């Protein structure tokens, strides 16, 4: 059994969101995500479903063309092959549990790397 808590894993980075992998198998990946105000996971569309539970803070989750406001206690699910991203509000840190099934491939995360490099939440708009 794998067990942890957000306080124990808490790891923030001034430059970019921090993802602490808690578990990974061929079928699922579980990550604790830590976002300083304004930080984000850029929009991308991997071939995996994702369930996001907001532990604390406020922000938005992109689901296709829509952005949904989220706060502590909210659970959002975005289906595979759908544009998705997570962004903390400019005035709020955000902590979230992200469960993806199956885990995205390295190639599917290229838009994430591109968006972080450019400082763009939605690198698909460029």
CATH number at residue 84: 2.60.120.10
Q: How many domains does the chain have?
A: 1
- Over the stretch 100-112, which tens digit does the pLDDT of each residue have? 999 999 999 999 9
pTM confidence score: 0.92
| Residue 68 lies inside a defined structural domain of this protein | yes
Rg of the chain's alpha carbons, rounded to an integer? 13
Alpha-carbon distances of 124 from 29, 35, 91, 110, rounded to whole Å: 24, 21, 25, 11
| Residue 89 lies inside a defined structural domain of this protein | yes
Containing structural domain, residue 86: 14-119
| Residue 126 lies inside a defined structural domain of this protein | no
Confidence of residue 10 (pLDDT cuts 50, 70, 90): confident
| Residue 109 lies inside a defined structural domain of this protein | yes
Distance CA 97, CA 86 (A): 11
Q: Residue 121 has what pLDDT?
A: 95
Token pair 């709020």 in the structure block, residue = 92
Identify which of 14-23, 80-89, 109-118 has the greatest average pLDDT: 80-89
| Residue 8 lies inside a defined structural domain of this protein | no
Write the CB contacts of 73 (distance below 8 Å, at least 6 apart in sequence): 54
| Residue 125 lies inside a defined structural domain of this protein | no
| Residue 34 lies inside a defined structural domain of this protein | yes
| Residue 9 lies inside a defined structural domain of this protein | no
């Amino acid at each position: 059994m794998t067990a942890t808590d957000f306080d124990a894993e808490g790891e923030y980075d001034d430059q970019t969101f921090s993802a602490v992998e808690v578990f990974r198998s061929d079928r699922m990946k579980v990550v604790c995500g830590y976002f300083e105000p304004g930080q984000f996971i850029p929009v991308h569309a991997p071939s995996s479903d994702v369930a996001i539970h907001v532990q604390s803070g406020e922000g938005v989750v992109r689901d296709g063309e829509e952005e949904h406001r989220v706060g502590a206690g909210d659970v959002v699910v975005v289906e595979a092959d759908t544009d998705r991203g997570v962004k903390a509000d400019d005035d709020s840190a955000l902590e979230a549990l992200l469960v993806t099934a199956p885990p995205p491939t390295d190639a599917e995360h290229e838009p994430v790397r591109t968006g972080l490099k450019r400082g763009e939440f939605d690198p698909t708009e460029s």
